Structure 1
């Protein structure tokens, strides 16, 4: 085992990814307001949430090892897209992504009582042109309901992706290389 940390996330995907790094870790959920602030850019938004989650873990008393917070947003035309609120929202979102390149921003942050260190990873993802029939079938699988931007690249939504430039793992929710590197930097401060 390498480092021992806390993961401030209930995400099963982040848990699985973190296990690949060989860290000893405990996972817990934080209750944080994830609303985007007025005039807040997508970059500032995703970084603020990752830091907030890590710092909330510290405030909850997880102080004997670094706390990892992470957040992911899908961005098109400068707008951060959240999880679809319903089928109509999903259809609108996916029609915007259809045949275009969008960005996935994942922020990671490590915190302890002495401070926080964060990083943002940007990945460009290109979708094929999508038919309404494909979108209807995808919605019925249930997969899009809890995914930022309405799709999971690691699941059935991966069939829509024609090109990716950046970190695949960041699109899934936790960039492995960058996470390992940031933890080393955090521990050496």
Structure 2
């Protein structure tokens, strides 16, 4: 293929050598996430990937860090299959970011009621978090600002109505006070419902 990927009996192999299983699914399978920056991720960083989809971010992160946890409410079966294909030691938490109560989550043609966890709960389950990647389709605005304490780096997709409630000013204020940050309006996304990608480093 001219995009640098190939196919084998194990599925699609991207140019980095990362493998993805080929399955017909009612949801999009995200295989690459170049909008997220990982240049300063360290081998000892505890990485938390919220909204892991089928593993595009966490599989790449696992090549840098030995402590990666992926959180995924809907596509966890295929995510776990891809983790096995790549022989990576990534922990998977089946559920979503939220209030701690079950919630209905919709992704393309998939609709399911799943357990949700606050960010504090997810960090506890993961054994800590130094590097947070979050793509939670608007659930990021449910994060309690002080749950970010101790997180050195944040890569987060920020969403806007109509796909989610209005942004939480307290979260933005906390990030502005404690992090050096920028928001990249990535061209790979429609501007409808997406503010952009937050890149933040704790000061």
Higher normalized helix content (fraction of residues): 1
- Identify whether the pair has TM-score above 0.5, normalized to the shorter chain: no
TM-score of the two chains, using structure 2 as the length reference: 0.28
TM-score of the two chains, using structure 1 as the length reference: 0.30
